[in-house]
Every structure is written in C-alpha cells, then in structure tokens.
Structure 1
Amino acid sequence: MGRAGKALRQVLETYGISQNRLAVTIGINRATVNQWFNETRDPLAESIPDIVDALETLNPVAATDFLSLYLGRPAPKD
C-alpha cells in the first residue's frame, strides 16, 4: 500500500492518538481509519486534508510530522 497508511500509523503510535479519536475528529467510521492504519486501504487523496486538519486539532506537531512522512520530506526545523 501507499505512504499515507505508513505515515498515519507512525504518527498515531508516536503521539499516542487512538484510531477512534482520529475517526471521531474527522467525522468518519473508525473502521475506515483502521483500514488506513493497517494498510489494507489507502486514504483517498481527498481525505488527506481531513486527516491533516484532524491531526492539527489533536496535536499540531503530529500533523506536521504526518505531512513530512507522507510527502517524503524532512520535517521543518523551528
């Protein structure tokens, strides 16, 4: 599967964000997040902004890390 699932798994594990919490924040079914997390299905391109917005709400650093991992770019330095 693609890079998004791997990036999402890493970010959720690193920052202790549950799949359920992300799903509720996005407003989708937890099973969908679970499919992304377990890389059985990649999020659609249209879902990436929703993931980033939800992560920004939950933990802005997690959102930045997700984007860096997803895009394959180093995280910006402060």
Structure 2
Amino acid sequence: MGRAGKALKQTLETYKISQNKLAVVLNVDRAVVNRWFHEQVDPNAETVAEIVKALQNLDPIAAKTFIQLYLGDLLQQDEREDR
C-alpha cells in the first residue's frame, strides 16, 4: 500500500498522537485508523482531507508534516515549476 499510510504512521509517531485519538476526532472506529497506519488500506482523497482537518485540530504542525510527507514530491515539483 502506500504513501498515506506511511505518512500517517510517521506523523502519529513523531507527534505522539494515538490512533485512538485520531479515530475519535475523525469519528471513525479505531480499527479503520489502524488499517491505514499499518498500510493495509489506503484512505481515499476525501478521507485524506478529513485526516488533515483532524490533525489540524490536534496539532497544526503535525498536519503540515503529514501534508509534506504525503505530497512532498508533488509540492517540491510545484515549487520548482514556480521558479
């Protein structure tokens, strides 16, 4: 699986946000977050947006980190094209 799970796992571990805490804010079962975390299932685009919103509520810097980890290559490419 992919990029979202890796980005989520790294973000949650770095900022010490529990899977349960994220699940509560997202109003989903903890098992859903666990499947993303362990890269068994990737969240869809709408869910990624909801994850970002939830992380912004919990820790805005964690949200920025998640975005950077998830979209890093795309963001860097965009920045190069803007120059």
Return the TM-score normalized by structure 1.
0.91
Work out whether 1:54 is the aligned partner of 2:54: yes
Give 5+ residue unaligned stretches, structure 2: 77-83
RMSD: 0.9
Work out whether 1:21 is the aligned partner of 2:21: yes
Q: Which is greater in Rg?
A: 2
Return the TM-score normalized by structure 2.
0.86
Bigger helix share = 2
Give 5+ residue unaligned stretches, structure 1: none
1:63-74, aligned counterparts within 5 Å? 63-72=63-72, 73=75
Letter in 2 for 1:38: H
How far, CA to CA, are the matches of 2:32 and 2:43 in structure 1? 9
How far, CA to CA, are the matches of 1:2 and 1:38 in structure 2? 10
**Mean CA deviation greater in 45-54 or 65-74:** 65-74
Percent same amino acid at aligned positions? Answer: 59
Q: Would you identify which runs of 4 or more consecutive aligned residues in structure 1 move more than 2 Å?
A: none
